[in-house]
Structure formats: structure tokens, C-alpha cells
Amino acid sequence: MTKITVSPDCGNAPKKQFLKEIIIAFAKGNTAFLTESVTDRIVWNLIGDRIIEGKEKFTDEIGKTKIRKVSELIIDKIVTHGKEGALNGIVKMQNGKKYAFSDFYEFSGVKATKVKAITSYFIEI
């Protein structure tokens, strides 16, 4: 079971709540939620690693990340404005490794609840 810790100010707006749900879905490997939350033309830029384009490749990559076991997710900040949002925090793995992360999201529209682009920074600390 993954322990989730969220900063008190994270979630007082609909898009902040949505981003919180997305990052929790990543930590728990909830492929169904993540696949429904992105556009068909999603572009996921994993900085320093690779760029994943399209919903099918995105879903395949999410399936691979289920292999990693997250023991704790700490969400520090969530910021949204218009068609964009960002969040950062710490991920602790069951093998004892810790990673700092920062994700930047672009939504398909101002009122949209679909993500069309993600830029992810994931650094071992």
C-alpha cells in the first residue's frame, strides 16, 4: 500500500485536484485512470531519457512503470493556471531509493480535463 502525503494547500481548485489524482494514479499504477486522463496525441517528455508520443505508447509505458513499487508519495506543491499546471514532490520506493520529481502538464483547453503534454523530471536523491 502506498502512503500518500499532500501539502495542505494542494487541492483547493478543480485542476489542482485533478493533478493530484493523476500523480497518485502514477504512484499506484492506475493505468485505466491515466489512460482516460490524456488525449489520443499525448506527448510525454521524460527529460534525459525519452519522449513517448500517442496514447497507445503512453499506456504501454505506464504498464512498465507498474513494476516499480512506490511505498510513499509526498506531494509538495501543485500550481495551475489556464491550460497549464505543475507539481513536485518526493517518491520513496520499496527498495529504499528516493526520487525528487517535478511534472509540468499542458491541458487540451482551459476548461478541459484531458492532458495533452507532460514534461517529467525524475532525479534520484
Q: pLDDT (tens digit, 9 = 90+) per residue, 95-105?
A: 999 999 999 99
Task: Parse the chain into domains and list their residue ranges.
Answer: 3-124
Which residue is associated with the grid cell 502514477? 26
Q: pLDDT (tens digit, 9 = 90+) per residue, 35-94?
A: 999 999 999 999 999 999 999 999 999 887 655 689 999 999 999 998 999 999 999 999
Q: How far is CA 114 from CA 54, 85, 111, in A?
A: 13, 12, 9
CA–CA dist 53, 43 (Å, integer): 5
Q: 3-124 — its CATH code?
A: 3.10.450.50
Q: What is the pTM of this model?
A: 0.90
Q: Starting at the edge strand that comes first in sequence, how are the strands of the sheet with 70-81 ordered?
A: 3-6, 70-81, 84-93, 98-107, 115-124, 38-46, 50-53
Residue 114, sorted as left (phi over 0), alpha (psi -120 to 50) or beta, turns out to be: beta
Instruction: Say how many CA atoms lie within 13 Å of 33 toward its Cβ.
Output: 13
